[in-house]
């Protein structure tokens, strides 16, 4: 007898979903259980079959875009890649918007602050060469490239940001994603904004605010380690301070 | 009600507990230090003056807090050394759980030795 | 000096003082475990520290490192309780540092003065 044919298992899930803005309440919906059901399937069922006023985001639904990130039973997850079986062991499911971001409505958050901090951390590549120069030669096994490669796969889903307590405690903190991106660029020899970027990510709102909780690393669906990137940034800032290079 | 923030189910991992212990022990030690310095400066009034204050610490309710403070000091030290290694020595994902366990174990051992020594 | 630079210096000072304290605390813990057998008396403490230049120097370094390490740590803790950093929080931390230096020096004089 498998879990799915077990007659004692309920045929419906009782799902609590956040409705409202920053102020609101959880509404309860009964959703039929299905094999291999994901949390995104549950939310979609509610919006299409029960309550069309429910607001939520998704796009690819195959774990590539990060749009469907929400808080599921207290933890930030990609809902398209979260099987109901894995998180609703006692048939209880609570779905809310990502934490630490203003709520526009229901499960939709305003991501502007997340991306503004990305920009403040100078998380953009600053080119130095033109089409007339030779191609840059990057050695894949070099320490710098390996450091960048370990952190480069971030798709900006916001799960680390929503999982980080320092983001909640220190409103100016740039957050794990922005700092992780800054680290990949710091390790790119083609980039021309090294000095400005180090100054941008240093200090009370930058890498020095990280307390190595490792919540970001625990929750990242791409298995990245922003904690490691931020530790690297701390090392590089210390080096720059001692060398008199930090502006 | 207001939208709940990141909850406690988000925090059940070793790295977070290591932080919590480090923060609690640090704040406890910071608050204890001025008291510690004040007690020691009683010696300015001679050995007898210091003894008078130390006698107060022999009370049965105060003894456990002495052991707690030693535990706080030891665990803040070991946890701090772990952080210094992460920040200056480099990150290896596989070492993290072991590092936390070693830090916690060494500190507890130290506090145990102190407690047993107290007699 | 820019804010980022000052704050980076503070962080570095806290880590440097942490390294110094790691040594001091190991010595301090060892001393406590060896010295505190079945209770502690003033005579036991003072017999070791009275008139000792070595202990005075050791505790001098200890107090200095503590006066750097603790206020910078407290600064972060208080800032996070209030949602972010501010000049007021800096002031609290600085004041606490001064208190530690004054009381700490007094304590050293008390136990090492001949």
pLDDT tens digits, one per residue of B28-84: 999 999 999 999 998 888 888 888 888 887 788 887 888 899 999 999 999 999 999
Sole residue written with tokens 């941008």: A200
**Mean pLDDT within A22-36:** 94
Instruction: Give residue A112's pLDDT.
Output: 98
Q: Buried (b) or exposed (e) across A2-16, using 16+ Cβ within 10 A?
A: eeeeeeeeeeebebb
The ipTM (two decimal places) reads 0.91
B39, HSE (Cβ side, Cα atoms, 13 Å): 16
The closest CB to that of A235, out of B15, B18, B88, belongs to: B88
Distance of CA C36 to the CA centre of its chain: 21
Min CA distance, B62 vs chain C (Å)?
12
Residue of A nearest to C82 (CA): A169
The rounded distance, in Å, linking the Cα atoms of A151 and B93 is 13
Give me the residue spans of the domains in chain A.
12-109, 112-242
Q: Does residue C46 contact residue B43 with C-beta atoms inside 8 Å?
A: yes
Distance of CA A38 to the CA centre of its chain: 19
Which candidate, A113, A76, A83, A35, places its Cα nearest to that of A216? A76
The rounded distance, in Å, linking the Cα atoms of B14 and A227 is 14
Q: Does residue A92 contact residue A14 with C-beta atoms inside 8 Å?
A: yes
CATH class of the A112-242 domain in this structure = mainly alpha
Q: Name the neighbours of B, counting chains with at least 3 Cβ pairs within 8 A.
A: A, C
Instruction: Give residue A40's pLDDT.
Output: 98
Question: Does the beta carbon of C12 lie under 8 angstroms from any beta carbon of chain A?
Answer: yes
Q: Which residues contact A220 (CB under 8 A, 6 or more apart)?
A: A159, A160, A226
CATH 3.40.1160.10 fits A12-109, yes or no: no
pTM score over 0.95: no
The rounded distance, in Å, linking the Cα atoms of A236 and A198 is 8
The closest CB to that of A172, out of C4, C81, C84, belongs to: C84
The rounded distance, in Å, linking the Cα atoms of A166 and A163 is 9
Sole residue written with tokens 């070991």: B78
Contacts of B50 in chain C (CB under 8 A): 42, 45-46, 110
pLDDT tens for chain C, 114 residues long, are 789 999 999 999 999 999 999 999 999 988 888 877 767 788 888 888 888 899 999 999 999 999 999 999 999 999 999 989 999 999 999 999 999 999 999 999 998 886
Which candidate, C22, C43, C26, places its Cα nearest to that of C111? C43
The closest CB to that of B87, out of A20, A162, A234, belongs to: A234
Which candidate, A160, A157, A241, A247, places its Cα nearest to that of A199? A247
Which candidate, A56, A69, A109, places its Cα nearest to that of A221? A69
Q: Grade residue A194 by pLDDT with cuts at 50, 70 and 90.
A: very high
The rounded distance, in Å, linking the Cα atoms of B81 and B62 is 29
Angle between helix B62-84 and helix B96-118 axes, rounded to 10 deg: 150
Question: Which conformational region is residue A95 in: left (phi greater than 0), alpha (psi within -120 to 50 degrees), or beta?
Answer: beta
Structural domains of chain C, with CATH: 3-112 (1.20.1300)
Which contacts qualify for A239-246: CB closer than 8 Å, 24 or more apart? Answer: A240/A198, A241/C5, A241/C8, A241/C9, A241/C12, A242/C12, A245/A195, A245/A198, A246/A198, A246/A199, A246/A202, A246/C4, A246/C5, A246/C8
Contacts of C6 in chain A (CB under 8 A): 203
């Amino acid at each position: 007898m498998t879990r799915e044919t077990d007659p004692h298992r309920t045929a419906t899930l009782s799902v609590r979903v956040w409705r409202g803005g920053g102020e609101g309440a959880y509404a309860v919906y009964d959703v039929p259980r299905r094999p291999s059901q994901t949390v995104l399937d549950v939310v979609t069922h509610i919006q299409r079959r029960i309550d069309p006023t429910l607001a939520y985001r998704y796009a690819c639904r195959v774990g590539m875009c990060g749009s469907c990130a929400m808080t599921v039973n207290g933890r930030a997850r990609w809902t398209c890649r979260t099987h109901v079986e894995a998180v609703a062991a006692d048939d209880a499911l609570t779905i809310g918007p990502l934490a630490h971001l203003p709520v526009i409505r229901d499960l939709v958050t305003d991501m502007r602050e997340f991306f503004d901090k990305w920009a403040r951390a100078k998380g953009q590549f600053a080119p130095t060469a033109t089409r007339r120069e030779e191609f840059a030669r990057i050695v894949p096994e070099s320490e710098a490239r390996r450091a960048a490669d370990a952190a480069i796969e971030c798709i900006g889903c916001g799960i680390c940001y929503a999982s980080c307590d320092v983001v909640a405690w220190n409103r100016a903190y740039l957050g794990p994603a922005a700092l992780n991106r800054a680290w990949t660029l710091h390790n790119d020899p083609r980039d021309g904004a090294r000095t400005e970027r180090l100054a941008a990510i240093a200090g009370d709102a930058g890498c020095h605010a990280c307390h190595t909780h490792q919540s970001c690393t625990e929750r990242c669906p791409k298995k990245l380690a922003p904690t490691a990137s931020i530790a690297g940034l701390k090392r590089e800032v210390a080096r720059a301070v001692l060398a008199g290079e930090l502006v | 009600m207001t939208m709940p923030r990141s909850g406690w189910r988000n925090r059940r991992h070793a790295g977070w507990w290591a932080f919590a212990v480090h923060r609690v022990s640090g704040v406890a030690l910071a608050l204890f230090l001025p008291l510690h310095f004040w007690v020691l400066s009683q010696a300015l009034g001679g050995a007898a003056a210091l003894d008078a204050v130390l006698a107060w610490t022999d009370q049965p309710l105060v003894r456990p807090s002495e052991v707690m403070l030693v535990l706080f000091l030891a665990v803040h030290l070991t946890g701090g050394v772990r952080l210094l290694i992460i920040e200056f020595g480099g990150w290896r994902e596989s070492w993290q759980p072991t590092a936390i366990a070693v830090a916690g174990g060494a500190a507890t051992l130290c506090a145990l030795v102190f407690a047993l020594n107290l007699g | 000096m820019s804010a980022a630079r000052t704050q980076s210096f503070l962080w570095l000072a806290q880590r440097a003082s942490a390294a110094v304290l790691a040594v001091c605390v190991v010595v301090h813990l060892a001393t406590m475990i060896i010295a505190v057998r079945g209770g502690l008396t003033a005579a036991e403490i003072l017999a070791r520290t009275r008139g000792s230049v070595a202990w005075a120097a050791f505790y001098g370094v200890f107090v200095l490192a503590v006066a750097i390490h603790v206020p910078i740590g407290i600064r972060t803790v208080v800032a996070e309780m209030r949602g972010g950093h501010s000049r007021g929080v800096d002031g609290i931390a600085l004041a606490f540092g001064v208190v530690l230096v004054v009381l700490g020096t007094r304590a050293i004089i008390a136990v090492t003065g001949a």
